[in-house]
Amino acid sequence: MGLADKLGLKKEETKNPNEATLKLTKGELEALIIGLGEASFKGKQVESVFKLAVKLQDALRKLN
């Protein structure tokens, strides 16, 4: 039995072992989106950064 179990905290299970679940505040999401917008990316990075930006924007919309 781990500490989280003793404290009665629930662990969030993910369907994919390569996937993480994060809880970010509105300010943190905005900072990440701004940082991505000000950075420069090349080649293959552009598509993955775009997908990340879309996920961040969706999470921000859910908070509003």
pTM for the predicted model, two decimal places: 0.68
Tell me what pLDDT residue 41 has: 92
Contact (Cβ atoms closer than 8 angstroms) between residue 49 and residue 41: yes
The residue assigned the tokens 């598509």 is 47
Tell me what pLDDT residue 44 has: 87
Report whether pLDDT(2) > 70: no
Each residue's pLDDT tens digit, 5-63? 666 666 556 578 888 888 999 999 999 999 999 999 999 899 999 999 999 999 999 99
**Cα separation, 44 vs 11, whole angstroms:** 34
Domain boundaries, the chain: 20-63
